[in-house]
Structure 1
């Protein structure tokens, strides 16, 4: 668990935008579409496609208080899930520019 937490935290720390997702999740797809539509550069981790995905997901609960996906971080700050990201769509471009993801 400690390894997964360290891994998750370094992904968050080393990327302007980090999206923890599952490939089959419709909410995750909506978030990725929004970010792609803006041309954002982001680190994507498909938790169902990596061997330690469930451990990383458990670690994200400790880090962010959120277990569900998508679990999104911008500028090392926890944004939340898809509905949180969609709610920020008006300010998203500025936020992404600020962290160097556009």
Structure 2
């Protein structure tokens, strides 16, 4: 039973069985979902290598080190707006870096991904430490944890 299942899934097993017991399924009609091609496409996608000695990486490090609050954001992002709002309510000056208006925005976002484990925005830092994104900041504000940074 297992051999027949393997035969149906992999063409290399086809030759070892008679055609009455083992036939290959027809080609999938949508080439972008062709499972034979997916292995080749998936193996061609490589993670981006981030140069942590680049000018963008130095910019990120210097910005985080020299400001109490830094928000890396995009102007159109609702989660970024969610992250900025609590700081506005607390009258805290935050350094906001809008990546969509920055010619190095994509590279900066890659550096942030390397530093924080995710490339999504917002990326919020307080006292040089990464504290989270939009929902994290909102939750911290609602529980009073965010206010403790500024007392």
What TM-score does the superposition give when structure 2 sets the normalisation length? 0.62
Identify the structure with bigger relative contact order (alpha carbons < 8 Å, sequence gap 6+).
1
SS of the residue 1:88 aligns to: helix
Task: Say if 2:139 is the partner of 1:87.
Answer: yes
Structure 2 unaligned segments of length 5 or more: list them. 1-50
Task: Say if 2:105 is the partner of 1:34.
Answer: no
User: Aligned-pair RMSD on alpha carbons?
Assistant: 1.0
Q: Which has the higher strand share?
A: 1
SS of the residue 1:29 aligns to: helix
Structure 1 residues 59-83: Cα deviation after superposition (integer angstroms, max 9, x where no partner):
0011111210010000101011011
Which whole-Å CA distance do the structure 2 matches of 1:96 and 1:66 have between them?
26
What TM-score does the superposition give when structure 1 sets the normalisation length? 0.90
Which whole-Å CA distance do the structure 2 matches of 1:96 and 1:42 have between them?
12
Aligned to 1:23: 75
Tell me if structure 1 keeps the 8 A contact 2:82–2:135: no
Give structure 1 regions of 4+ aligned residues with deviation exceeding 6 angstroms: none
SS of the residue 1:91 aligns to: coil
Aligned to 2:110: 58
Structure 1 residues 79-100: Cα deviation after superposition (integer angstroms, max 9, x where no partner):
1101111121112111133xxx
Structure 1 unaligned segments of length 5 or more: list them. 98-102
Aligned to 1:96: 150
Q: Which of the two has higher C-alpha Rg?
A: 2
SS of the residue 1:18 aligns to: strand
